[in-house]
Amino acid sequence: MITESTYKPKVFEAEVFAATQKYSRIEIIIYIILAFFCMLGVLAYFYQLKDGLIVTGLRDYVSWGLYISMLFFFVGISLIGAFISSVLRFAGEEWRHPVSRIGEAITISSVLFAGLMPVVDMGRPERLGYLFIDGRIQSPILWDIVAIITYLVGSILFFYLPLIPDLAKLKNSVSGFRGKVYRILSLGWTGSPIQKQKLEQCNKLMAIVILPVAISVHTISAWLIAMTHRPGWNSTIMGPYFVFGALMAGCAVMILIMALLRKLYRFEHILTAKHFSHIATLMLALCAFYLYLNINKYGVPAFIMERNEKMLLDDLLKGRFSVMFWSVIIFGLIIPIVLLAFKKIRNSIRGTVMISVLVLLGALLNRYLIVVPNLLHPLIHMQNAKPFVVTYFPSNVELAITAASLAGFVLVVLVLTKFFPAIPIEETEEAVEKFGMEETGMEETGATGAAKIIATIALLLLFIYPLSAQEKLNGTINLKIEKGDSVNTITATVVDAQTKVPLKNVELNFSIKRMFGYLSIGDVITNEKGEAITTYESNLPGNSETGNVITVAKVEDSDVMNDTSAQITAKSKIVFAEIKNNAGGIIESKPPLWLSITFYGVVLTVWSAFAFVIFQIVQLKKNN
């Protein structure tokens, strides 16, 4: 254990501070390249806005593609921040201190882009506000929006809390705009014991609250696809599958960003092989666990080989997507596991960085494989579809926007870690004092470091019935109804229009008026009394508005008698059989009570914790 005497807090502080000040040439080149990709993405987006989503490779079958894959990817890597500052905190891992701010920066940046990707994917982004005005909390999309916003706010708070003492410390060393920001944001921190105690209380509360929020964000994103009737998606494993795959990808991104910042900011002595090794060990465990989840996700349906799953699995395991699929399994999981199992590789920065590239590429392809092949295998197999509809390949616009999102992500991380000290100074120093240099994983001293209107001529259709003056019976129909328990009896009496003599052998057709037509209930020939009798079930539902059943008696053969008809109306026993829905209220426009309570309850709980933390830090000034 390295003792306090060999640790030089001033040198460490100077190193971290120096990194916020100077821009190296390579840094400027990186900024220009990232900004270029971002601009390209913005241009591509304007083009997409103008022409619509037709410019993407998306069509009616594959209606979600690269953008949604990227949503899952960004939501995924956002988990790492919460993991480092929450799980590792409770596990008592003291090496977390120097890397915690980088983790939170990754979280903020990735959650921002996770929020942006669905907007880019929207057909009508100008209606974004409807999600808040007309939002239905029954929809997983609303859950996702709320979770992403909550997580973003929580992550900003968690990024900010340990920053307060650092800003106070540096506010006098920086001038101009940054000095102003530092001064305002440091909230009059003096480092008094009460302030320290309050800050620690806030940190602890945030560490507890952020974890369920972080897990919910990713689980809800998984539910976006798991809560559908699609083969490969409709699976209960989706939540955990996403969470752990996310954490795995997060570790890879964390290692890569750490390596980048280590070089750029010259943090060789602060971010050491020990930090890389610790995260690599975590990545090893997560890769192994993710492989296990993959075996469950693909293995179990592959054993059953249900018809619809078979189509999808054939495509993945030996069809169009097999190269991609097996690449993910072999290069994204198995090889990293094997390599990381060697302590020597795990302990080298170069080794972990190279494996992280493999894991990251695997994770990106994996998100794509979760979204696209499933959409190509709907429950009703494609028929007569145009060739461009049955496949999907991202268009240049999509690729440009995706590249821009990745570049933007790195850019935001760089800006956050440049504008603010990348390493928590106060937190790390305290940890060093308490646990020593080695526990925090640091080394000794180092250098610097988005009708026209038409109408046609009206044709009046006149139906002129030819009036033929034939020797026909000229009669009238009188209807009578007799209601019974099970059947209603209709008696039609046909009499001569003038003489009122009953007419026999007239065939009458009885029918009941329905919305679009006449439901025939029988043809009856009149007897000697001129009567034709028929029945219909008395439980026949009536008209939905009036409750009436209208029975029509009509002369069947107009050659025998004049074409005449009569109708009689009777109230039905039942208006209509009530038809119930079985969806438990969530299909309705208004949410059911249980859902409202759950939803608002959870949101309120989390946000009140945030409010408490904000309240506490605003009051810090009074406690100096």
- Residues within window 58-77 making contact with another protein, judged by CB under 8 A: 58-61, 63-64
Please report how close the Cβ of residue 271 comes to another protein at its closest, in angstroms: 40
The residue range among 457-465, 474-482, 562-570, 607-615 that interacts with another protein, by the rule CB under 8 A, is 457-465
Could you say whether residue 467 binds another protein (CB under 8 A)? no
Query: Distance between the two ends of the chain, CA-based, in angstroms?
Result: 34
Could you say whether residue 619 binds another protein (CB under 8 A)? no
Buried (b) or exposed (e) across 227-248, using 16+ Cβ within 10 A? eeebbbbbbeebbbbbbbbbbb
Please report how close the Cβ of residue 393 comes to another protein at its closest, in angstroms: 15
Choose which of 10, 25, 344, 386 interacts with another protein (CB under 8 A).
386
CB 511 within 8 A of CB 521: yes
Distance CA 570, CA 565 (A): 17
Could you say whether residue 455 binds another protein (CB under 8 A)? yes
Chain residues 297-326 in contact with another protein, contact rule CB under 8 A: none
Helix residue spans in 227-342 (DSSP H) = 238-264, 273-294, 300-304, 307-317, 322-329, 335-340
- Strands (DSSP E) along 70-191, which ranges? none
CB 345 within 8 A of CB 352: yes
519: three-class secondary structure by DSSP: strand
| Residues touching another protein, count (CB under 8 A) | 80
Distance CA 377, CA 137 (A): 29
Chain residues 397-426 in contact with another protein, contact rule CB under 8 A: none
Q: Closer to another protein at the Cβ: 344 or 386?
A: 386
Choose which of 24, 139, 327, 538 interacts with another protein (CB under 8 A).
139
Of the CA atoms within 13 Å of residue 502, those in its CB half-sphere come to 12
| Helices and strands: H and E segment counts in the chain | 23, 7
- What's CA 520's distance to the chain center, in Å? 52
Choose which of 220, 225, 312, 413 interacts with another protein (CB under 8 A).
225
CB 356 within 8 A of CB 256: yes
The residue range among 52-60, 176-184, 324-332, 615-623 that interacts with another protein, by the rule CB under 8 A, is 52-60
Chain residues 492-551 in contact with another protein, contact rule CB under 8 A: 511-512, 514-520, 540-545
What are phi and psi for residue 476, nearest 5 degrees? -125, 155
Could you say whether residue 586 binds another protein (CB under 8 A)? yes
What sign does the dihedral 248-225-384-395 (CA atoms) show? negative
Could you say whether residue 138 binds another protein (CB under 8 A)? yes
61: three-class secondary structure by DSSP: coil
Distance CA 599, CA 589 (A): 16
Q: Kindly report the CA angle at 191 between 187 and 195, in degrees rounded to 5?
A: 70
Please report how close the Cβ of residue 143 comes to another protein at its closest, in angstroms: 9
Q: Closer to another protein at the Cβ: 64 or 290?
A: 64
Please report how close the Cβ of residue 374 comes to another protein at its closest, in angstroms: 9
Label residue 569 exposed, middle or buried (CB < 10 Å: 0-12, 13-18, 19+): middle
The residue range among 212-220, 375-383, 403-411, 611-619 that interacts with another protein, by the rule CB under 8 A, is 375-383
Q: Closer to another protein at the Cβ: 146 or 170?
A: 146
Q: Closer to another protein at the Cβ: 323 or 462?
A: 462
Could you say whether residue 25 binds another protein (CB under 8 A)? no
- Build a one-symbol-per-residue string for 550-579: x at contacts with another protein by CB under 8 A, - elsewhere: -------------------------xxx-x
Distance CA 423, CA 15 (A): 10
Contact residues for 281 (Cβ-Cβ < 8 A; gap 6+): 340, 346
Could you say whether residue 475 binds another protein (CB under 8 A)? no
Q: Closer to another protein at the Cβ: 63 or 445?
A: 63
Please report how close the Cβ of residue 349 comes to another protein at its closest, in angstroms: 42
Q: Closer to another protein at the Cβ: 63 or 474?
A: 63
Distance CA 450, CA 405 (A): 8
Contact residues for 233 (Cβ-Cβ < 8 A; gap 6+): 225, 226, 374
Please report how close the Cβ of residue 545 comes to another protein at its closest, in angstroms: 5
Q: Closer to another protein at the Cβ: 225 or 273?
A: 225
Could you say whether residue 454 binds another protein (CB under 8 A)? yes
Q: Closer to another protein at the Cβ: 26 or 54?
A: 54
Choose which of 29, 33, 194, 379 interacts with another protein (CB under 8 A).
379
Token pair 């956002």: residue = 78
Could you say whether residue 247 binds another protein (CB under 8 A)? no
Choose which of 91, 460, 467, 593 interacts with another protein (CB under 8 A).
460
Helix residue spans in 516-588 (DSSP H) = none
Could you say whether residue 115 binds another protein (CB under 8 A)? no
Choose which of 124, 387, 486, 498 interacts with another protein (CB under 8 A).
124
Please report how close the Cβ of residue 453 comes to another protein at its closest, in angstroms: 6
Q: Which amino acid is at 508?
A: L
Choose which of 5, 10, 92, 123 interacts with another protein (CB under 8 A).
123
Choose which of 485, 581, 593, 622 interacts with another protein (CB under 8 A).
581
Q: Closer to another protein at the Cβ: 63 or 565?
A: 63
Label residue 522 exposed, middle or buried (CB < 10 Å: 0-12, 13-18, 19+): middle
Tokens describing residue 29: 């080149």
Chain residues 434-453 in contact with another protein, contact rule CB under 8 A: 451-453
Please report how close the Cβ of residue 573 comes to another protein at its closest, in angstroms: 13
Distance CA 172, CA 180 (A): 10
- Strands (DSSP E) along 381-486, which ranges? 475-482
Work out the number of other CB atoms within 10 angstroms of the CB of residue 624.
13
Token pair 């990232």: residue = 34
Q: Closer to another protein at the Cβ: 39 or 586?
A: 586
Choose which of 1, 304, 380, 467 interacts with another protein (CB under 8 A).
380
Q: Closer to another protein at the Cβ: 546 or 562?
A: 546
Q: State which H helix or E strand residue 607 sits in.
A: helix 593-618
Choose which of 29, 54, 295, 618 interacts with another protein (CB under 8 A).
54
Q: Closer to another protein at the Cβ: 53 or 490?
A: 53
Could you say whether residue 229 binds another protein (CB under 8 A)? yes
Q: Closer to another protein at the Cβ: 123 or 193?
A: 123
CB 579 within 8 A of CB 545: no
Q: Closer to another protein at the Cβ: 178 or 230?
A: 230
Q: Closer to another protein at the Cβ: 92 or 387?
A: 387
Contact residues for 491 (Cβ-Cβ < 8 A; gap 6+): 479, 480, 481, 482, 531, 532, 533
Q: Closer to another protein at the Cβ: 175 or 589?
A: 589
